[in-house]
Amino acid sequence: MILLNNAEVELQKEYMNKVKELNTKKLKYYILTMGCQLNENDSEKLCGMLEEMNYEKTEDINLADFIIMNTCCVRENAEEKLFGKLGEYKKIKEKNNAIIAIGGCMMQEKHIIEKLNKSYPYVDIIFGTHTLHKLPEDIYKILNKQKKVQDILDIDGEVFEGLPIKRNDDKKASVTIMYGCNNFCTYCIVPYVRGRERSRKPEDILKEIKQLADEGYKEITLLGQNVNSYNGGIVNGKEYNFANLLRDVNDIDGIEIIRFVSPHPKDFKADVIQAIKGCKKVSRILHLPLQSGSTAVLKKMNRKYTKEQFIELAEKIKKEIPEVVFSTDIIVGFPEETEEDFEDTLDVVRKVNFEQIFMFIYSRRVGTPADRMENQIPEEIKHERFDRLKALFEQQIEENNKKYIGTVQTVLIEGKSKNNENTLTARTSTNKVVILDGDESLIGKLVDVKIVSQHVWFLKGRIQK
Ligand code: SAH
Ligand code: SF4
Ligand code: F3S
């Protein structure tokens, strides 16, 4: 279902103007973003609104007149981080009379709000995932001497178009195509804090990407918690599912690389594979989140595929598109995970030979079914399994890297290398970092390089003449 509420966006634009009038001189804001790329993209919108209201970004919190934190709650360390930071923010508030705003996923959790209200009364603005666009109104109220603004909605938010945006990069851009998640994997908090799936209209997405191409952007990442369940409805007789959206994005001149995160294996249908095959700009590293290699654990996780189905899917994609490599997410220590279950995970890792693995230790999330399961795995076993998975993966990276040596790769030059000003850093279509010698005029360009050596976390290349 697609919902739009332009009147609300217009209203917030009026508030932006009002705040701008109140902020007669340039003020500074400091932003901290936790969590996934969707949150990063939300933060770009928060920055866009703040800059419309006469705030400019600072990396030095000591100079901040406005402090904003966009939170994540997918794993518990994020909570420690939030409460740790708030003490620091209080000192800045006392010194600079700064406004403190906290938003994002963690604010959708009742126990967090209770704790904030009880122990951190100096936080000025609290907003949730469905009320991000109301930041201008919230700031206006605080500037008009309202003591505290708490703006959280439990119902699903609407899809808003036309908010200003200040992007972090001038070559690579993220474009959110759908919000929310319907999958309710039993370990995961996201469906509770982000609500049900809502897709943006294809014409709005395509318009945004065309504009990015005109501005010189080369790489686009399409974002959603479950991108391949994108449902943009029917426009001019054409059904806008994920496969068709991908094809239209591929046709946009100027865009050279298309990535997307995260697809769900259960929705990786034949038409999506065919679309990727036919769309040469789509990156040849595909994210295929495994979570566990044990069919029994996958069932308890509510992932809706078995170990065999996952392996078959990877093989099927590889058969259609031989140059594809995979990245994945794996959770170790899910409740009731046995040694045999964990061995199954290692087995899939050996068979699929992932290029990149994001590994997580299972973290209990209040309100999720897995948190209520009885046989939680002791911390030391979780850590021991994590280390074994990591060791296997590191062994595989070196082997995989060796396959690149001697090949010619088309890479996007991203900038100067962080460790050595005289070298450039680039990425292959499969997301490998390549370090090479070259002139800085090449930044932002696609260049053919020959890979000469591998160094575990990066490859070295030489420009092909
Ligand atoms: N929608 C995406 C992922 C969102 S969260 C997907 O399905 O792939 C990103 C990753 O965090 C997940 O893939 C999972 O591996 C991990 N994760 C989510 N909840 C977790 C939890 N409770 N404990 C540990 N890891 C978790
Ligand atoms: Fe969480 Fe599963 Fe939804 Fe991903 S698909 S956000 S892991 S519930
Ligand atoms: Fe975290 Fe919210 Fe993303 S919980 S992972 S920031 S959707």
> Under DSSP, is residue 380 helix (H, G, I), strand (E, B) or coil?
helix
Residues 6+ apart with CB under 8 A from 283: 257, 258, 259, 429, 430, 431
Q: Is 411 helix (H, G, I), strand (E, B) or coil?
A: strand
pLDDT of 4 over the 60 cut = no
Q: Is 183 helix (H, G, I), strand (E, B) or coil?
A: coil
Q: Which residue has the tokens 């014409």?
A: 203
Average pLDDT, the chain: 94
- What pLDDT is recorded for position 250? 98
Question: What integer pLDDT is reported at residue 154 of this predicted model?
Answer: 79
Q: Would you say the CB of residue 365 lies under 6 angstroms from ligand 1?
A: yes
292 in ligand 1 pocket by Cβ < 6 Å? no
SS3 167: coil
Question: Has this prediction a pTM greater than 0.85?
Answer: yes
Q: Which CATH class is domain 6-151?
A: alpha beta
Q: Percent of the chain, pLDDT > 70? A: 99
Query: Residue 74 is which amino acid?
Result: V
The CATH T-level fold of domain 172-402 is pyruvate-formate lyase- activating enzyme (3.80.30)
> Residues enclosing ligand 3, CB less than 6 A?
35-36, 38-39, 72-74, 105, 190, 193-194
Is the dihedral angle over the CA atoms 19, 23, 24, 25 positive or is it negative?
Answer: negative
Q: Is the CB of 228 under 6 A from ligand 1?
A: no
Identity of residue 66: F
pLDDT above 90 for 5: no
Place of tokens 């932006």: 16
Indicate if ligand 1 lies below 6 Å from the C-beta of 225: yes
What mean pLDDT comes out for the span 52-71?
97
d(CA 435, CA 427): 9
Residue nearest atom 4 of ligand 2, based on CA coordinates: 225
Is the Cβ atom of 262 under 6 angstroms away from ligand 1?
A: yes
Helix ranges, 279-337 (H): 295-301, 307-320
Residue 253 has pLDDT above 90, yes or no: yes
User: Ligand nearest 34 Cα, by number?
Assistant: 3
- Residue pLDDT, tens place only, 405-427: 999 999 999 999 988 888 999 99
Position 7 scores a pLDDT of: 85
Domain ranges of the chain: 6-151, 172-402, 408-463
Query: Residues with Cβ < 8 Å from 372, sequence gap 6 or more?
Result: none
Q: What are phi and psi of 291, to 5 degrees?
A: 70, -55
Q: What is the pLDDT of residues 147-205, one digit of tens each?
A: 889 988 877 777 888 889 999 999 999 999 999 999 999 999 999 999 999 999 999 99
Is residue 3 over pLDDT 70?
no
Ligand 2 atom 2 nearest Cα: 185
CA distances from 357 to 291, 295, 384 (A): 10, 19, 17
- Position in ligand 1 atom list of the atom nearest CA 74: 19
d(CA 276, CA 327): 16
pLDDT tens sequence across 327-374: 999 999 999 999 999 999 999 999 999 999 999 999 999 999 999 999
Given the candidates 3.30.465.10, 2.40.50.140, 1.10.760.10, 3.90.1150.10, the CATH classification of the domain at 408-463 is 2.40.50.140
Alpha-carbon distances of 127 from 222, 238, 429, rounded to whole Å: 25, 37, 37
74 C-alpha to ligand 3 centroid (Å): 6
* Cβ of residue 187 lying under 6 Å from some atom of ligand 1: yes
**Is the pLDDT reported for residue 1 higher than 50?**
no
C-alpha of residue 157 to centroid of ligand 2, in Å? 18
Which residues are CB-neighbours of 4 under 8 A, at least 6 positions away?
A: 158, 159, 160, 161, 201
Centre of ligand 2 to C-alpha 289, Å, is 10
Say if CB 54 and CB 7 are below 8 A apart. Answer: no
345 φ, ψ to 5°?
Answer: -65, -45
Q: Is the CB of 330 under 6 A from ligand 2?
A: no
Average pLDDT over residues 131-146: 93
